[in-house]
Structure formats: structure tokens, C-alpha cells
């Protein structure tokens, strides 16, 4: 099967990545993050960021409206639960299709312009969707209360096979319930699949063309190459990734609110991608994990935990340190996020991936000095 | 007719705020070539200058007066606001007029913040891509608003309108209509005039002073101006400071209209970016014109008759106009040829 073939290096990356993702419940336990709700978020936002990176990392088009597709995916999935069946598969398929259609329409218009105008256009479309979801489209989106399941939903397909039970049903996968770890493993498996697809895109001629568009679009057009279909394809693919992530959010928690589409949510995926490393495969995943970890763990910190943490310091110093650091955790974790982000953009534009590469090449250079090995070559191509 | 006049006025004051922020954004873009996503945060900082000033002068010190008794027999607690200790008889006036007076505080503060921001961070991003500029200023905006949140908390801070400007002006009567046909809150009228003064001052400064002339020359051709032995970078830094002051003052005077919270900047930023793009990147008159235009369009779109015609139009009109303008007129309304077309 040719379509499943990957370069050797990528196969190793994929294998290691699979191990890391699937053993999350084990290695996250000491970090205090090994509960299904958070790990689902890790997987879902990794999907979102990987998809965003296919657009931003490869073509260089900075979209500030990707959260709209996430929101569309969520709404579609919840509607699929409400109208058809509680099974996750149709919900996800519809979510991908719907967000793909949206991405096609928005991308078709937005991609007429590039640079900051593209960012503003996508932002404008996302804000339009957000505002509409809050106001006029209330029959579809349920406005501020968020779209939820009710016990009176039609659920046509489910009703054909069994009777209406009391209470709210929960999403399932081919009959197995998706509570707890089930939901996580579904998200993790999907993450692995879409990561593989992203790898394929990165190594394919299509990915190469996208990179060429990023490095010099004018030259591409001069060589008689129509760039629009390629950027549009990248936009739609990344929109579908976002829709899939939105669908999964709905699968793990069948509730869809408009705030998911707000532009701050779009900004968050940009942060994740930049923090991890634009244009790399693993970077956005790491960025998404870090930000979600910070969001959930730092925001739960309080003065007492900090006091414990710094108890080894002398008394007076400890109070000072606790006072200062308490401003950066708990309620103020977003301050930390902003600071980290500014520092990364200033000092490490390639994100964490570039940081590791620099460290690697530092060691690589030393080794190369000793044995003149070809270590450097392999580290520079560590994408 | 009177409905149209009312909507026009409604749109003007919102448009004035957009125009002021967009003017600053355009100044920064035109001089330094930097896309500043932190500009909304400057607007918010200005608003919090007013909040901080009021909090300061109304801070009360409690002294227990043994000679007097409160109605329930305990020694009377005398509360004196900070202003009274410092300014005596002026205190009531000071507290009443805290919002406009805090302008005095906001000008040096915003100038300092602006210059510190430019020298400390944005200076390093001239040569980087617009995407990176957006990213770093976006991060900075998050930091600024979170800082404000740690000091002032997440809730909005309502600020009072000075008592002389409460109530409404009978605008309809000025235009020869019957009394009471079109009334308009007085403070909004003040805001409109204030915005007009600021806009006029900035344009006059650029137009009629030598400093302004050099800045305009630098906007047109930075390199040549530099070759003539003029330290254009320093002037651009000062322009950044001025842009920050304009945004800050817009924020100060807007506080009675909309209680500021830490998120205020982000809400206005997105809109003012749209305004800048509609007006044409780098065009100052364009930014002002588009600000007022979009403000007015928005207020017309929120008329019930129009909403009945096209439901939801009030929510999306600005973005919709932006999309249309960007697609049919790539430079925006008044954009110069060759600036950021693409």
C-alpha cells in the first residue's frame, strides 16, 4: 500500500509519538494531569493545532479565525446527536464535512488577499459567525445558553432500535460508552490518525508546493503555477481538522457554546502553534499540551500550594516569593501565558522545537568536533 | 428625519472612539511600519488611568472623633477622602470631575508607556515579518490586560459623568425641529467634541509644525530623511508615544459611556483594525473617515426597521463592509497606492 508508506525517519517519529500519546495516563500521573477530561483536551487541541499548522506552518497564511471552524464542528456534532444518533462516528463525519464546507466558502473569499489582509478577513468572518451565533442564529445555536442535549430530542436512528430511556443519553462509539478513558482513547486514536495524515502532507509534493508558496509566492506564480487551489486546499484541510477537533469536544462533552468561536479562541491556537514551533510536525502538539497543561494546572494553584512549594526558603523570602508568584498562577495564569509567549516570539521564533534543535546542534557540534560525524546534518533536518 | 438624525448622532460617538483608536494604529503603522495588536490595550490602559485616579482621590482615611457620637451612641467615625486632605474645598469638584481631570494624569503616563513599549520591545521587530509583529504585540496585549486584571480585578468599573454634563441635550431643537424630537446624552456630545479636538490637534501637529513635517517626510521616505542627517527613529518613537496618548485619552473619556474592565481593549481592537483596513493601511484621513463611517453604519443597522428587513445585520455590518471593501478595493477607501497591497 503506497499511500501508507512514509520515510523511515517519519515512521520512527510516528511510532514514538504513538507510544507517548497512548501512555499518557502513565507518564502524566506524576505531573498531576492524568485524568481523562484533561487528557482528552490534550488530544483534541493537539488535533486543532496540527491542523492549524498545515495552513500557517506550510503556507505562511496567518488565520485569526480558525476557532469558527471549531465552533461549527461542535454545533454540527451536537445536532447530529440531537437529530440522528448518539454514536460518535456520524457526528464526527458531519462535523468534518460541515466545517469543510464553511472553510471552503470562507477560504475562497479570504485567500484572494494575503498577509495582514488575510488575517483581518478571517478574523472578520470568525467574528461574524460568533456574533450571529449569539444573536440571530439562536434557533440553531441556542445562543448564550449553549446548545445542549435534551431528553425530548428526536434521535431518529436511535429511536428505531430502542426505546427512549429516562435521563440524558451520553455519546457512544458503536454501542460502547465514551465516558472516562474511553473518550480519551478515541481522541488519542484520532490524533494518531490525523498526525499520520499531516506527516503524509508534509512529505508529499503537495506539502512541498505549499512550502514553496510560503517562501516565495510571486516566483511560484511566475513559473506558471496557480497557487490559489493549493492554498485553498490547505485552508480547507486545516478547517476540517478544526471541525474534527470541535466535533470531538462535543463528543467528550455534548455541549456547544458560541464562546468557542470567539477570536480569543482563535488566538489561542496561534499561541499553541508558535509556542511549539511553526512549520514542524511535533511543535504544535507540544505547544497545545503545554498551554492546556498550564491552563488547567497553573490555574488550580493557590497561595497554599505555593507556600508548600517554596517552604524550603527562609521565612521572609518565602512570603515575598509566594506573593509575587501567586500573581502568575491561579487567576493570573494567563499573565504567565502572555509573558512566555512574548519571550518565545522575541527570543525563539521557531518555538520549543527550535530550542531543542539548538541544544541538539550544540551537542552535535561538540561531537562533530571530536569525530567529524554527520550528526549535524541529521539534527538540522529534525522535523 | 428625526430618527435619521438620532441614529447619525448615535453613530458619531461610537465612530469617534473608533476613529481615535484607528488614528493611533495608523500613525504607528505609517511611521514605524508595525502592526500593533496591543493598541487596544493602550485604550484600556487609558480608561484605567481614570479609574485609578478616582480610586486614589476617593480613598478614605478614617479617624475616630471622640467628641461626636453617631446615632447609635458610638464615637463618630469621620471619613475623609484623600482629595479633601490634599485639596480642601476643591475636593467635591475634583471628585465630580474625576474623569476629565484624569486626562492630566493620563497624558504623561500614556506617553511613558508608549515610549517604553516602543523602545523596549517593538523596536526589535521592525525588520521582522508582519505576522511576527502581530504575534508579539498580541502577546503584549495579553500581558497588559492581565496586569490590569491583577490590580483591578475582572469586574467593570463604572465611572460617573460630571454632574454638569448629565442629562440630555435637545439636539432636535437646534436644527429647528420641535423640542424633544431628538435628544442626545450630553456626555456623548462632549465626547464627540473632545474627539474632534484631538483629531484636529494631531492633524495640525503633523501639518503645521516642523516636527510634523519631518515625520510626514519620514513616512514617505524614511531612508532619505535619515540620509539628510535627521534622527528619524527618535521622532518615530515620539510618534508612537503620541499614538499611545491618543488611544489613552480616547479611553479616559469613554469610561462614563462604558464601564471599563480589563477586556475592553480586545473588544475595541478587533473593530479598530477593521476600521484601519477599511480606511486604507497608512492613511490617516482614511482611518478617521472609516471610523465615523463604520460607527454610523453600525448605528443605522441597529434601527428596528432595518433589523426587521435583514435580521442580524447590526451584528455583522462592520465585518461585512470590511470584507466587501477588502475584496473590491484592495487599498481600502483612501489608502495610498503601493502601501500594503497584496
Series of mean pLDDT values for 10-residue runs along chain B (342 residues): 78 87 87 85 92 85 74 73 72 82 92 92 83 85 88 86 81 72 82 92 92 88 87 89 93 89 81 84 87 89 79 80 84 70 50
Tell me how close the Cα of B311 comes to any Cα of chain A, in angstroms: 7
Give the cell for residue B86: 490634599
Q: Positive or negative CA dihedral for A67, A72, A77, A78?
A: positive
CB contact under 8 A, A113 and B131: no
Count of CB atoms situated within 10 Å of the CB of A173: 17
A14 touches chain B (CB under 8 A): no
Ranges of chain A whose pLDDT falls below 70: 1-3, 163-167, 302-304, 307, 330, 365-383
Residues of chain B positioned with their CB less than 8 A from the CB of A114: 342
Between A and B, how many CB-CB pairs are < 8 A?
A: 114
Q: Classify residue A237 by burial, with Cβ atoms within 10 Å: 0-12, 13-18, 19+.
A: buried
Hey, which residues does B169 pair with through a beta bridge? B184
The DSSP annotation for A176-218 comes to: EE-STHHHHHHHHHHHHHHHHHHHHHHHSHHHHHHHHHHH-HH
Pairwise CA distance, residues A343 & A331, whole Å: 21
Query: Angle between the B130-152 and B264-279 helix axes, to the nearest 10 degrees?
Result: 150
User: What pLDDT, on the 0 to 100 scale, is given for residue A376?
Assistant: 44
Q: Classify residue B280 by burial, with Cβ atoms within 10 Å: 0-12, 13-18, 19+.
A: buried
User: Residue B142: which of A125, A137, A334 has the nearest Cβ?
Assistant: A334
Chain A residues 53-82 with a CB less than 8 Å from chain B: 60, 62
CA B165 to mean position of chain CA atoms: 20
Residues 6+ apart with CB under 8 A from B76: B64, B65, B68, B69, B70
Residues of chain B positioned with their CB less than 8 A from the CB of A264: 266
Pairwise CA distance, residues A157 & A87, whole Å: 10
User: What pLDDT, on the 0 to 100 scale, is given for residue A168?
Assistant: 72
User: Residue B315: which of A115, A125, A135 has the nearest Cβ?
Assistant: A135
Tell me if A330 sits within 8 A of A355, measured CB to CB. Answer: no
Which of A124, A125, A214, A329 should one mutate to test binding to chain B, selecting the residue with the greatest count of B CBs within 10 A?
A124
Per-residue b/e over A15-26, b at no fewer than 16 CB within 10 Å?
eebbeebeebbe
Residues 6+ apart with CB under 8 A from B245: B106, B107, B110, B111, B114
Residues of chain A positioned with their CB less than 8 A from the CB of B29: none
A105 touches chain B (CB under 8 A): no
Domain boundaries, chain A: 2-262
User: Residue B312: which of A123, A127, A136 has the nearest Cβ?
Assistant: A136
User: What pLDDT, on the 0 to 100 scale, is given for residue A193?
Assistant: 94
Closest of B192, B146, B148, B184 to residue B167, by C-alpha: B184
Q: Report the domain count for chain B.
A: 1
CB contact under 8 A, B139 and A342: yes
Count of CB atoms situated within 10 Å of the CB of A180: 12
Tell me if A60 sits within 8 A of A119, measured CB to CB. Answer: no
Give the cell for residue A372: 567529524
Question: Is residue B335 domain-resident?
Answer: no
In the 8-state DSSP scheme, what is residue A112? T
Pairwise CA distance, residues B94 & B98, whole Å: 6
Question: Is residue B314 domain-resident?
Answer: yes
Residues of chain B positioned with their CB less than 8 A from the CB of A113: 326-327, 330, 342
Query: Angle between the A282-297 and A351-371 helix axes, to the nearest 10 degrees?
Result: 120
Residues 6+ apart with CB under 8 A from A146: A255, A256, A257, A258
Query: Angle between the A263-276 and A36-59 helix axes, to the nearest 10 degrees?
Result: 80
CB contact under 8 A, B326 and A349: no
Residues 6+ apart with CB under 8 A from B91: B57, B81, B83, B84
Residues of chain A positioned with their CB less than 8 A from the CB of B319: 124-125, 127-128, 131
User: What pLDDT, on the 0 to 100 scale, is given for residue B339?
Assistant: 57
CB contact under 8 A, B322 and A114: no
Count of CB atoms situated within 10 Å of the CB of B283: 22
Tell me if B69 sits within 8 A of B211, measured CB to CB. Answer: no
CB contact under 8 A, A274 and B135: yes
pLDDT, tens digit, 9 for 90 and up, residues A193-216: 999 999 999 989 899 888 988 888
Residues of chain B positioned with their CB less than 8 A from the CB of A135: 312, 315
CB contact under 8 A, A346 and B136: yes
Tell me if A48 sits within 8 A of A292, measured CB to CB. Answer: no
Phi and psi, residue B95, nearest 5°: -70, -40
User: Residue B277: which of A109, A117, A346 has the nearest Cβ?
Assistant: A117
Between strands B60-69 and A172-173, the pairing is unpaired
Residues of chain A positioned with their CB less than 8 A from the CB of B320: 124, 128
CB contact under 8 A, B340 and A331: no
Q: Using only C-alpha atoms, what is the Rg of chain B?
A: 23
In the 8-state DSSP scheme, what is residue B179? T
CB hemisphere CA count around A133 (13 angstroms)? 26
Question: Is residue B321 domain-resident?
Answer: yes
Q: Give residue B11's domain range.
A: 2-328
CB contact under 8 A, A263 and B270: yes
Per-residue b/e over A52-80, b at no fewer than 16 CB within 10 Å?
bbbbbbbbbbbbbbbbbbbbbbbbbbbbb
A348 touches chain B (CB under 8 A): no
Residue ranges of chain B whose CB lies within 8 Å of a chain A CB: 35, 121, 124, 128, 130-132, 134-136, 138-143, 146-147, 149-150, 266, 270, 273-274, 277, 281, 311-312, 315-316, 319-320, 322-323, 326-327, 330, 340, 342
Residues of chain A positioned with their CB less than 8 A from the CB of B124: 346
Tell me if A54 sits within 8 A of A234, measured CB to CB. Answer: yes
Task: Please calculate the CA angle B218-B124-A337 and round it to the nearest 5 degrees.
Answer: 135
Helix, strand, or coil (residue B39): helix
A346 touches chain B (CB under 8 A): yes
Hey, which residues does B75 pair with through a beta bridge? B69
Phi and psi, residue A176, nearest 5°: -85, 140
A269 touches chain B (CB under 8 A): no
User: What pLDDT, on the 0 to 100 scale, is given for residue A33?
Assistant: 77
Phi and psi, residue A373, nearest 5°: -80, 175
Tell me if B319 sits within 8 A of A128, measured CB to CB. Answer: yes
Tell me if A40 sits within 8 A of A240, measured CB to CB. Answer: no
| Number of residues written out for chain B | 342
Pairwise CA distance, residues B168 & B107, whole Å: 29
CB contact under 8 A, A346 and B121: yes
CB contact under 8 A, A113 and B326: yes
Tell me if A123 sits within 8 A of B273, measured CB to CB. Answer: yes
CB contact under 8 A, B322 and A120: yes
Pairwise CA distance, residues B220 & B339, whole Å: 10
Amino acid at each position: 500500500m503506497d499511500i501508507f508508506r512514509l520515510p523511515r525517519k517519519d515512521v520512527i517519529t510516528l511510532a514514538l509519538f504513538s507510544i507517548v500519546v497512548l501512555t499518557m495516563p502513565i507518564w502524566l500521573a506524576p505531573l498531576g494531569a492524568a485524568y481523562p477530561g484533561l487528557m482528552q483536551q490534550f488530544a483534541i487541541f493537539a488535533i486543532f493545532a496540527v491542523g492549524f499548522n498545515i495552513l500557517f506552518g506550510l503556507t505562511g497564511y496567518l488565520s485569526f479565525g480558525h476557532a469558527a471552524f471549531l465552533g461549527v464542528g461542535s454545533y454540527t456534532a451536537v445536532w447530529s446527536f440531537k437529530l440522528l444518533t448518539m454514536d460518535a462516528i456520524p457526528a464526527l463525519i458531519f462535523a468534518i464535512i460541515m466545517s469543510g464546507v464553511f472553510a471552503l466558502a470562507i477560504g475562497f473569499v479570504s485567500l484572494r488577499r494575503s498577509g495582514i489582509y488575510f488575517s483581518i478577513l478571517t478574523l472578520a468572518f470568525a467574528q461574524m459567525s460568533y456574533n450571529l451565533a449569539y444573536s440571530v442564529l439562536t434557533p440553531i445555536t441556542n445562543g448564550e445558553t449553549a446548545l445542549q442535549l435534551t431528553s425530548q430530542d428526536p434521535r431518529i436512528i436511535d429511536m428505531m432500535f430502542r426505546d427512549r430511556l429516562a435521563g440524558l443519553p451520553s455519546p457512544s462509539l458503536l454501542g460502547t460508552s465514551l465516558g472516562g478513558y474511553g473518550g480519551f482513547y478515541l481522541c488519542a486514536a484520532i490524533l494518531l490518525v490525523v498526525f499520520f495524515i499531516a506527516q503524509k502532507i508534509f512529505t508529499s509534493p503537495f506539502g512541498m508546493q505549499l512550502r514553496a508558496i510560503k517562501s516565495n509566492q510571486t516566483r511560484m506564480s511566475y513559473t506558471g503555477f496557480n497557487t490559489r487551489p493549493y492554498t485553498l486546499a490547505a485552508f480547507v484541510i486545516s478547517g476540517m481538522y478544526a471541525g474534527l477537533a470541535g466535533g470531538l469536544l462535543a463528543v467528550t462533552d455534548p455541549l456547544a457554546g458560541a464562546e468557542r468561536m470567539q477570536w480569543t479562541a482563535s488566538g489561542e491556537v496561534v499561541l499553541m502553534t508558535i509556542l511549539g514551533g511553526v512549520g514542524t510536525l511535533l511543535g504544535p502538539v507540544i505547544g497545545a499540551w503545554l498551554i492546556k497543561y498550564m491552563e488547567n494546572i497553573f490555574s488550580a494553584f493557590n497561595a497554599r500550594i505555593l507556600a508548600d512549594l517554596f517552604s524550603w526558603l527562609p521565612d521572609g523570602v518565602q512570603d515575598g516569593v509566594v506573593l509575587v508568584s501567586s500573581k502568575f498562577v491561579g487567576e493570573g495564569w494567563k499573565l504567565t501565558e502572555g509573558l512566555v509567549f512574548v519571550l518565545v516570539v522575541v527570543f525563539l521564533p521557531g518555538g520549543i522545537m527550535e530550542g531543542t534543535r539548538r541544544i541538539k546542534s550544540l551537542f552535535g557540534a561538540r561531537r562533530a568536533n571530536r569525530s567529524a560525524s554527520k550528526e549535524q546534518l541529521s539534527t538540522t533536518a529534525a522535523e | 428625519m428625526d430618527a435619521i438624525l438620532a441614529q447619525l448622532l448615535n453613530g458619531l460617538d461610537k465612530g469617534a472612539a473608533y476613529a481615535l483608536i484607528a488614528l493611533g494604529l495608523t500613525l504607528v503603522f505609517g511611521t514605524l511600519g508595525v502592526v500593533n495588536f496591543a493598541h487596544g490595550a493602550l485604550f484600556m490602559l487609558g480608561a484605567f488611568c481614570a479609574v485609578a485616579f478616582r480610586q486614589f482621590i476617593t480613598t478614605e482615611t478614617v479617624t475616630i472623633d471622640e467628641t461626636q457620637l453617631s446615632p447609635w451612641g458610638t464615637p463618630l467615625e469621620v471619613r475623609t477622602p484623600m482629595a479633601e486632605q490634599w485639596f480642601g474645598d476643591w475636593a467635591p469638584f475634583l471628585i465630580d470631575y474625576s474623569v476629565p481631570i484624569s486626562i492630566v494624569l493620563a497624558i504623561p503616563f500614556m506617553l511613558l508607556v508608549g515610549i517604553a513599549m516602543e523602545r523596549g520591545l517593538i523596536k526589535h521587530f521592525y525588520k521582522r515579518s508582519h505576522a511576527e509583529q502581530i504575534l508579539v504585540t498580541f502577546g503584549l496585549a495579553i500581558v497588559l490586560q492581565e496586569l490590569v486584571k491583577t490590580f483591578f480585578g475582572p469586574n467593570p468599573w463604572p465611572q460617573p459623568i460630571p454632574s454638569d454634563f448629565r442629562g440630555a441635550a435637545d439636539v432636535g431643537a437646534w436644527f429647528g425641529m420641535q423640542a424633544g424630537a431628538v435628544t442626545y446624552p450630553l456626555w456623548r456630545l462632549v465626547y464627540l467634541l473632545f474627539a474632534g479636538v484631538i483629531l484636529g490637534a494631531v492633524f495640525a501637529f503633523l501639518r503645521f509644525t516642523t516636527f510634523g513635517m519631518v515625520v510626514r517626510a519620514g513616512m514617505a521616505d524614511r531612508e532619505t530623511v535619515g540620509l539628510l542627517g535627521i534622527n528619524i527613529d527618535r521622532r518615530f518613537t515620539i510618534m508612537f508615544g503620541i499614538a499611545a496618548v491618543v488611544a489613552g485619552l480616547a479611553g479616559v473619556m469613554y469610561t462614563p459611556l462604558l464601564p471599563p474592565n480589563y477586556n475592553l481593549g480586545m473588544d475595541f481592537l478587533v473593530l479598530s483594525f477593521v476600521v484601519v483596513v477599511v480606511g486604507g493601511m497608512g492613511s490617516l484621513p482614511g482611518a478617521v473617515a472609516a471610523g465615523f463611517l463604520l460607527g454610523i453604519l453600525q448605528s443605522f443597522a441597529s434601527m428596528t426597521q432595518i433589523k426587521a428587513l435583514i435580521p442580524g445585520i447590526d451584528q455583522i455590518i462592520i465585518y461585512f463592509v470590511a470584507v466587501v471593501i477588502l475584496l473590491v478595493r484592495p487599498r481600502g477607501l483612501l489608502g495610498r497606492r503601493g502601501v500594503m497591497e497584496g
